[in-house]
Amino acid sequence: MLTDRATPQTVRPDDDPLADPNWQEPEQPGERLSWFRLLFLILALGAVGAGSTFGAMRLRENAGTRAKSWAVPYVDVTLTPTFEFQDPDANPANDVALGFVVADRTDGCVPSWGGAYTLDEAAASLELDRRISQLRAAGGNIMVSVGGQSNTELAVACADQARLTEAYRQLVKRYQLATLDLDVEGAALGDQASLKRRAAALKTVQDERKAAGDPLAVWLTVPVSPSGLTADGLAAVRATLDGGVALRGVNVMTMDYGTGNSANPDMLGLTTQALDNTHKQLTDLYLRLGAQLTSAQVWSRIGATPMIGQNDVDTERFTVADAQGLATFAVDKGLGRVSMWSLNRDARCKGTFTNVVVHSNTCSGVDQQALAFSKVFAGLPGTSVGSSGRDAVEIPNRSSAIDDPTTSPYPVWRLTAQYVGGYKVVWHGVVYQAKWANSGADPSADDTAGAPNPWSVVGPVTTGDKRPTPTPNVTGVTNVWNPGTSYHRGDRVTYNDLPYEARWTTRGDAPSTDYPVDPDEAWAPLFTVPGEPVVN
């Protein structure tokens, strides 16, 4: 979990800790130039064995069109001692994510840094504005992260829509932001009202920036488990997209998996598993919203943020070797972003061995050289190209979409219809298929805990699709249905040139043309509708 204020350092020894006589002051990083950083990465990985050297070479060899992973580590702005992110000798990264902006403690609609500094106070006491200018002068850039685990997020604290919008607008203008990061976790994830307020405010600011020719990219940072996004996390992503935000990507916090019963969990394996499952979830979500993305396009909209070193769970430690593995995974998949929590922690803790559990905001709690994690990720070949918001996915307006039965390739979904497994329908411009028999379940809804959606998404309706043509299963039916005739069970008629059979005695009840024809209708269809599973 990402926090924005220092917590006391705690040491819990597995056996007696002794001071490490070999500990030395942190080493200084190399130049900021990206290719020098990449060369350093290759040489550094070579020192730990042939396998790592191969991984580093793969980073270099795959630095093509798909290898655009952007390294943007977090910096805890208000933590003491102040991390000099603008200093090339202290920060190997080119770009940084500054956290966290939260609600002011006296006025929830006013942005503050960690609840401790107003924006003006941060400029005066932390020299924040000046340090940002220095970083940019050296070729770097920032994004600002709003939210975090501690304090209260702006959209939660501020119920005034106009003032909330102004708070985001103020941040973007003051820090000349091209990218804004929304870190939504804890109780804020389930706060539906704040999710809607946040989306509405962000959409307004994005629309303003787009009109001015200077688009704003928005990343949403949420928790993740090895099985993927949590139900609340997925709902938060959907609420943001439903609110009209042009979401650049979803950054998942690959940390604190809760594997306390495992003595030595595979953190890299858990992380790649979490990312693979997130990819599946987002692919499905975008399809449900009417946008069909390629696998590579989805990967480019996913970010990963590990907690380097010791995680909050005692047994979970993300090592430098894990970071090297994640960097290779990021390039292989074309991951859009790799962050880490945090640059403040990228150093070895003084006077401890690796079998000592250390939770600290200023050191990693694992055996490492100074800035080792930063140097690994700084070697990623991508930049913030594409973060301007110009390549955001356009989500169709589903609320105003009207499915036309004359052009839909399958029947339009009906609330009261009774569907069997395998049946295909169209709803809000998207094709779905029933995973099992169901009725009344909105195909476009997300899975919820304990109540998975019985519909799987197939893909959007295309302009070339046509109305489905039913296929009769029998021949020789010639009697046309007449409203004045009494029919008995087994009688057969045609209606709209399709054959039906009476289920019971009926008079005046026209055969249904709403597909599927429900079993409580008087007339059973003797034909098959496209998308209807064939029962042998």
Q: Report the candidate in 26, 183, 24 with the shortest Cα–Cα distance to residue 92.
A: 26
Any idea what DSSP says for residue 445? S
What pairs with residue 502 in β-bridges?
523
Please tell me the distance from the alpha carbon of residue 252 to that of residue 134, in angstroms, as a whole number.
Answer: 29
Calpha distance 274→108 (Å, rounded): 34
Q: Where are the alpha helices (DSSP H) in 387-470?
A: none
- Based on the residue annotation, tell me whether 532 is a catalytic residue of this protein: no
CA dist., res. 69 & res. 251, Å (int): 12
Instruction: Count each helix (H run) and each strand (E run) in the chain, helices first.
Output: 12, 26
Tokens for 56, please give them: 């580093």
Characterize 394-419 residue by residue with b for buried, 16 or more Cβ atoms within 10 angstroms of its Cβ, and e for exposed: ebeeeeeeebeeeebbbbbbbeebeb
Structure tokens that stand for 529 in this block: 């509708």
CB-side neighbour CA atoms (13 Å) of 252:
31
From the candidates 185, 208, 316, 521, give the one annotated as an active-site residue: 185
- How many other C-beta atoms are found inside a 10 Å radius of the C-beta of residue 293? 16
The one-letter amino acid at 239: A
Most distant CA pair in the chain, distance: 102
**Closest by CA position to 155, among listed 209, 115, 108:** 108
Are the beta carbons of 137 and 87 closer than 8 angstroms?
no
**Residue 161: Cβ-neighbour burial (10 angstroms; 0-12, 13-18, 19+):** middle
Task: Supply the DSSP string of 14-62, one letter for each residue.
Answer: SS-----TT--PPPPP--S-HHHHHHHHHHHHHTT-HHHHHHHHHHHHT
Active site residues: 185
